[in-house]
C-alpha cells in the first residue's frame, strides 16, 4: 500500500499521474514511482522519499498518454528506491500494488525455479513476475492477470500495464479499494477518489475479485473466471479545496480549527428540540427494532476505537443497554460470543480499514445487523453495511484524526439518543441532550480560541520524552485518545490510565521528568480526581491540568492549567479532547516532526 493512480487518454500522462500522487500524499508513504507507456517502450522511474523527488526525476513533457503510479507505505522490505513501485518483469509488465500477498514466499520459490530474478524485498514483485509468466504461456494481459490472481492468497488493489498492449490498463481488487474514473475519451484509476479531483466525478467502484480492462473512455468488468460483470458509473462529490491548507501551516491544524463547522454539518437536520430526538434517515431500522436490541457492539481501530470507548460511557448511560467495544484487529480472531439482538456499529473514517471491513463481513455472515459510522461516501464500508450515519466531517487529509474523531463521538451520541427515545428516555431528558448538542459548535469555537495559550504551554514541555494522561469516567478514553495523538505526531512515548488505577502500578513511573496531563474538570467525580491529582503532584511530575474555567483550586496544584467552559456531561468528553489535540499538535511542531505525515503511519490502513 498506499496510493494508486492510473491514466489512459489523449493528454500527457505524466503531469496527471504526478499530481494524482500529490493528492494521495495525505495517506502516508515512504517512496513513489511511475511507469509510462510510450512508443512501444515501458519507462519506469522510482524514488525513495517524497513525490517531489520523483517529480524532479521524470519528464513531465513526455509524450506518453498512458501510465500508472504509486506511493508506497512499506510492509515487506525497507523504504528504498529498489523496493518502490512499480515493479517490473521482463521489461514488458509493470505492476503497482496495495495489499499483502500472503503466499508470496511460495510463489517466489516457484518463479525463481522458472528462471525469474527478484531485485526487491517486497511481496508485490511476485505479482509482476507471475503475470509475466502467465503471458509467456500465451493470451493477453487480461487473461494473464486473472490467471495469476487465482493463485494469490491475500489482498490487492492492483494496476497493470503491458508494453505489448499499450492501449489498455488492467485493474483488480480484493480487499483494497480501487475505482475507475470516466471522462469522454479518458479513463482514470485510483485507490482514492481524492486523486480524481478536477478530472471527473463519474466513477465505478470495483468489488472484490473483479478485474477491469480500461481503455480510452471505456471499461469492461470481469471476475477471476472471466465472467462478465455489469455496473453503471455513479456521480460522486469531490470538493475542490481538499488539498488546500487554507492558510494554516499544516492540514492537521486546519482540521482542528474546522471542527465548529464540521460538527455543525454533522448535526444539520438531525436534531428535533420539540421531540427531544435525533433523526437519522440512513439507519434502515424500524421503531420495533430500535426498541428490541439488547446489546450494542462497537468496533474500530486506532482513534475510531477510542471514540467507541467514549461512546460506551455515553451510550450505556443513555440507553441502559450494555455496550461492548472491540479492536477490529482482535475481534476477527478471538471467536467472540455474539448474542442475538445485538446491534453492531462499525466506526471508520475512511471506510476502507481492512480489519474493520473483515469484522463487518463476519458479523453479516452471522446474521447480525450492521451500522457504519463513515466519513467517506462510496467507501467499501458505506456500501456494504445494512445502514449507517455519514459523519459529514469533510475531507481529513492529515494522517492523525481530529475532526473525524469528534464526528464519530457525536454520531454515537445521536445514535444513542435515537435508541433511548424509542425506549424509556423522557422528553425532557431528550431535549436536554438536543440543547447540549445544538450548542456544541459554539463551545468548540470558544475552546479553540485558547490555542495561543496551549501553544505556549506546549513549548515548555516539548522536550519531554515520556507522558502520561489521566482521567476518570468518560474522560479516561479521552485520555487514551490524547496520549494516542501525542505519540502519533510528536513521537513522545505516551500512555493513559484511569486516574483511580494509579496506585496499582503506574505510580512507579512518576518522577520529575514525566509529563502528566490530568483531566480534572468540575464534574461528578471532581473530588476524587482532585485527590488523585494531589498524589501525582506529591511525586514531583511535570503536571498539566485540564480544568473548568474559574477553578482556582486546580490552578494552585498544577504547573500549568488548560481550561474548558462548564458544559453538559453529555458533551464534556468531546470538549475536553479539543485542547489535547492542540497540545499534541503544538508539541509536535516544536519538536520538528512531520505533523501531517508521521513516520511509519498511513491514513487508510488497508492491510492487516
Rounded average pLDDT over 185-193: 91
- Following DSSP, what letter does each residue of 479-521 receive, concatenated? HHHHHHHHHHHH--EEEEEEGGGGGGTGGGG-STT-EEEEE--
Using N-to-C axis directions, what is the helix angle for 259-267 and 440-448, rounded to 10°?
170
CA–CA dist 441, 436 (Å, integer):
10
Residue owning grid cell 503491458: 162
**Residue written as cell 435508541?**
419
pLDDT of residue 268: 93
Which range among 149-153, 229-233, 476-480 shows the weakest confidence by mean pLDDT?
A: 229-233
Burial call 52-87: b when 16+ CB within 10 Å, e when fewer = eebbeebeeeeebbbbbbbbbbbbebebbeebbbbb
C-alpha cell at 302: 486506532
Q: What is the tens place of the pLDDT at every residue in 369-383?
A: 999 999 988 788 998
When pLDDT is averaged across residues 138-149 and rounded to a whole number, the result is 92
Q: Is the peptide bond before 319 cis (omega within 30 degrees of 0)?
A: no
Q: What share of the chain is helix, strand, coil (3-state, %, to 5)?
A: 40, 25, 40
Catalytic annotation present for 460: no
pLDDT of residue 255 exceeding 80:
yes
For 358-367, write each residue's pLDDT tens digit.
999 999 999 9
Question: How much is the CA Rg of the chain, to the nearest whole Å?
Answer: 25
Say whether 187 sits in a helix, a strand or coil: strand
| 54 pLDDT higher than 80 | yes
Beta strands at 179-183 and 218-223: parallel, antiparallel or unpaired: unpaired
Q: How many residues are there in the chain?
A: 608
Grid cell in block for residue 498: 484511569
CA–CA separation, 384 and 357 (whole Å):
9
Across 89-118, average pLDDT = 93
What is the pLDDT at residue 606?
56
Please indicate whether residue 605 or residue 35 has the higher confidence score (pLDDT).
Answer: 35
pLDDT band at 61 (very low <50, low <70, confident <90, very high): low
pLDDT at 603: 63
CA–CA gap between residue 49 and residue 46 (Å, rounded):
10
CA 202 to chain centre: 23
Comparing 471 with 531, which gets the higher pLDDT? 471
Helix and strand numbers, DSSP H then E, in the chain: 20, 27
The residues, ordered by sequence, that sit 6+ positions from 299 with a Cβ below 8 Å of its Cβ are 305, 308, 325, 326, 327, 328, 331, 344, 345, 346, 347, 356, 359, 360
Q: How wide is the angle at C-alpha 33 spanned by C-alphas 28 and 36, nearest 5°? A: 140
Instruction: Find all residues with CB under 8 Å of 314, minimum gap 6, and list them.
Output: 409, 412, 413, 416, 474, 570, 573
Task: Please state, rounded to an integer, the average pLDDT across all residues of the chain.
Answer: 90
Q: Is the pLDDT of residue 241 over 60?
A: no
What backbone phi and psi angles, to 5 degrees, belong to 479?
-60, -40
pLDDT of residue 246: 81
Helix axes 572-591, 403-421, angle to 10 degrees: 170
- Which of 136-150, 435-449, 486-500 is modeled with the greatest confidence? 435-449
Pick from 14, 6, 17: nearest CA to 60: 14
Q: For residue 470, give the nearest of 399, 552, 525 by alpha carbon.
A: 525
Overall CATH class of domain 450-595 = alpha beta
What's the topology of domain 244-448? Rossmann fold (3.40.50)
* Sign of the CA dihedral with 547 first, then 553, 557, and 560 last: positive
pLDDT at 335: 83
Say whether pLDDT at 479 is over 90: yes
Q: Is 567 buried (19+), middle (13-18) or exposed (0-12) by CB count in 10 A?
A: buried
Q: Rounded to the nearest 5 degrees, what angle is found at the Cα of 256, between the Cα atoms of 564 and 471?
A: 45
Q: Which residue has the higher pLDDT, 150 or 530?
A: 150
| Span 5-29, average pLDDT | 88
Which of 2, 214, 344, 464 is an active site residue? 2
Q: How far apart (Å, rounded) are the C-alpha atoms in residues 417 and 473?
A: 20
Q: Active-site residue 603, yes or no? A: yes
Residue 183 to residues 9, 177, 198, 200, 537: CA-CA distances in angstroms? 9, 20, 11, 6, 64
Q: How confident is the model at residue 537 (pLDDT cuts 50, 70, 90)?
A: confident
Q: What is the pLDDT of residue 540?
A: 64
| Per-residue pLDDT at 239 | 56
Asked whether the predicted pLDDT for residue 608 surpasses 80, the reply is no
Domain 2-235 falls under CATH 3.60.20.10: yes
Cell of 377: 461516501
Give the separation between CA 186 and CA 38, rounded to whole angstroms.
17
Q: Which of 254, 403, 418, 603 is catalytic?
A: 603
User: Where in the chain do CATH 3.60.20.10 domains reside?
Assistant: 2-235
Pinpoint the residues of the chain covered by CATH 3.40.50.10490: 244-448, 450-595
- Taking the whole predicted model, whether its pTM rises above 0.75 is answered as yes
Amino acid at each position: 500500500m498506499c496510493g494508486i493512480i492510473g491514466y489512459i487518454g489523449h493528454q500527457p500522462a505524466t503531469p496527471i499521474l504526478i499530481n494524482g500522487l500529490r493528492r494521495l500524499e495525505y495517506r502516508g508513504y515512504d517512496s513513489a514511482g511511475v511507469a509510462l507507456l510510450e512508443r512501444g517502450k515501458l519507462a519506469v522511474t522510482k524514488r525513495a522519499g517524497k513525490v517531489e523527488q520523483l517529480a524532479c526525476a521524470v519528464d513531465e513533457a513526455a509524450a506518453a498518454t498512458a501510465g500508472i503510479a504509486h506511493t508506497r507505505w512499506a510492509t515487506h522490505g525497507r523504504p528504498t528506491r529498489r523496493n518502490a513501485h512499480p515493479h517490473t518483469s521482463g521489461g514488458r509488465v509493470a505492476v503497482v500494488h496495495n495489499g499483502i500477498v500472503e503466499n508470496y514466499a511460495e510463489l517466489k520459490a516457484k518463479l525463481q525455479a522458472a528462471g525469474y530474478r527478484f531485485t526487491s524485498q517486497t511481496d508485490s514483485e511476485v505479482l509482476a513476475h507471475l503475470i509475466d509468466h502467465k503471458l509467456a504461456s500465451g493470451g493477453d494481459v487480461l487473461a494473464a492477470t486473472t490467471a495469476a490472481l487465482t493463485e494469490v492468497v491475500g489482498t490487492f488493489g492492483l494496476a497493470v500495464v503491458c508494453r505489448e498492449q499499450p492501449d489498455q490498463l488492467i485493474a483488480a481488487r480484493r480487499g483494497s479499494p480501487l475505482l475507475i474514473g470516466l471522462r469522454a475519451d479518458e479513463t482514470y484509476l485510483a485507490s482514492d477518489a481524492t486523486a480524481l479531483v478536477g478530472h471527473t466525478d463519474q466513477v465505478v467502484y470495483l468489488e472484490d475479485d473483479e478485474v477491469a480492462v480500461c481503455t480510452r473512455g471505456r471499461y469492461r468488468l470481469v471476475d477471476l473466471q472471466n465472467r462478465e460483470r455489469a455496473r453503471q458509473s455513479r456521480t460522486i462529490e469531490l470538493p475542490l479545496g481538499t488539498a488546500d491548507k487554507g492558510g494554516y501551516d499544516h492540514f492537521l491544524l486546519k482540521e482542528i480549527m474546522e471542527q465548529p463547522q464540521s460538527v455543525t454539518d454533522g448535526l444539520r437536520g438531525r436534531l428535533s428540540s420539540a421531540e427531544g430526538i435525533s433523526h437519522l434517515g440512513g439507519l434502515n431500522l424500524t421503531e420495533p427494532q430500535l426498541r428490541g436490541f439488547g446489546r450494542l457492539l462497537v468496533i474500530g481501530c486506532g482513534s475510531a476505537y477510542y471514540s467507541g470507548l467514549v461512546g460506551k460511557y455515553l451510550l450505556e448511560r443513555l440507553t441502559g443497554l450494555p455496550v461492548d467495544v472491540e479492536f477490529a484487529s482482535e475481534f476477527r480472531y478471538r471467536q467472540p460470543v455474539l448474542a442475538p439482538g445485538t446491534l453492531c456499529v462499525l466506526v471508520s473514517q475512511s471506510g476502507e480499514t481492512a480489519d474493520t471491513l473483515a469484522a463487518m463481513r463476519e458479523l453479516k455472515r452471522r446474521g447480525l445487523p450492521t451500522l457504519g459510522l463513515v466519513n467517506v461516501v462510496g467507501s467499501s464500508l458505506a456500501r456494504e453495511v445494512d445502514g449507517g450515519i455519514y459523519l459529514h466531517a469533510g475531507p481529513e487529509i492529515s494522517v492523525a484524526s481530529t475532526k473525524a474523531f469528534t464526528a464519530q463521538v457525536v454520531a454515537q451520541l445521536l445514535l444513542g439518543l435515537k435508541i433511548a427515545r424509542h425506549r424509556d428516555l423522557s422528553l425532557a431528558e431528550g431535549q436536554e441532550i438536543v440543547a447540549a448538542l445544538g450548542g456544541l459548535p459554539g463551545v468548540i469555537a470558544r475552546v479553540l480560541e485558547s490555542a495561543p495559550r496551549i501553544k505556549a504551554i506546549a513549548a515548555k514541555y516539548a522536550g519531554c520524552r515520556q507522558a502520561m494522561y489521566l482521567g476518570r469516567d468518560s474522560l479516561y478514553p479521552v485520555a487514551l485518545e490524547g496520549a494516542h495523538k501525542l505519540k502519533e505526531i510528536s513521537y513522545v512515548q505516551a500512555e493513559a490510565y484511569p486516574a483511580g488505577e494509579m496506585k496499582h502500578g503506574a505510580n512507579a513511573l512518576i518522577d520529575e521528568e514525566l509529563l502528566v496531563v490530568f483531566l480534572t474538570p468540575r464534574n461528578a467525580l471532581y473530588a476524587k480526581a482532585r485527590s488523585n491529582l494531589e498524589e501525582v503532584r506529591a511525586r514531583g511530575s511535570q503536571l498539566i491540568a485540564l480544568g473548568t474555567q474559574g477553578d482556582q483550586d486546580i490552578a494552585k496544584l498544577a504547573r500549568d492549567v488548560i481550561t474548558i467552559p462548564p458544559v453538559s456531561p453529555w458533551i464534556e468528553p468531546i470538549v475536553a479532547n479539543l485542547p489535547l489535540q492542540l497540545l499534541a499538535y503544538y508539541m509536535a511542531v516544536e519538536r520538528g516532526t512531520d505533523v501531517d505525515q508521521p513516520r511509519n503511519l498511513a491514513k487508510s490502513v488497508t492491510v492487516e
